[in-house]
Amino acid sequence: MGALIRESFLDRLMLAYPPVPPSWYIICFTLSFLGAFAVIELSPLQLPAWGLALAVSMALIFLVPVGIIFAVSGTPLGNDAVLCKLWDVLNNLPQV
């Protein structure tokens, strides 16, 4: 009862290469995050370090639910409503 899956020529080409170990993804993410953090701290940008951490964490949090919704329905989901509300909350925090 299973569906017939045909192997494309791209699948055969990919079999010639070994799979990428997960540690490479972790190393790539870590180096990119540290590089972005260094750019923020060493250049005259007005983005605080917690802003970078917030942006990366929000991207990781929204990745799975938005991806599932897009995969199931084909509808791209915008995060503008949630992000605008978050901006309002962060903008009204007391200044330190």
What local confidence, expressed as pLDDT, does residue 30 receive? 95
What local confidence, expressed as pLDDT, does residue 92 receive? 82
What local confidence, expressed as pLDDT, does residue 2 receive? 56
Q: Residue range 46-68: average pLDDT? A: 86
User: What is the value of pTM for the model shown?
Assistant: 0.62
Torsions phi, psi for 66 (to 5 deg):
-70, -40
Helix, strand, coil percent content, the chain, rounded in steps of 5? 65, 0, 35
What local confidence, expressed as pLDDT, does residue 42 receive? 92
- Are the C-beta atoms of 76 and 70 separated by less than 8 Å? yes
Extents of the domains making up the chain: 9-91
Block residue for tokens 């919704």: 69
What local confidence, expressed as pLDDT, does residue 96 receive? 64
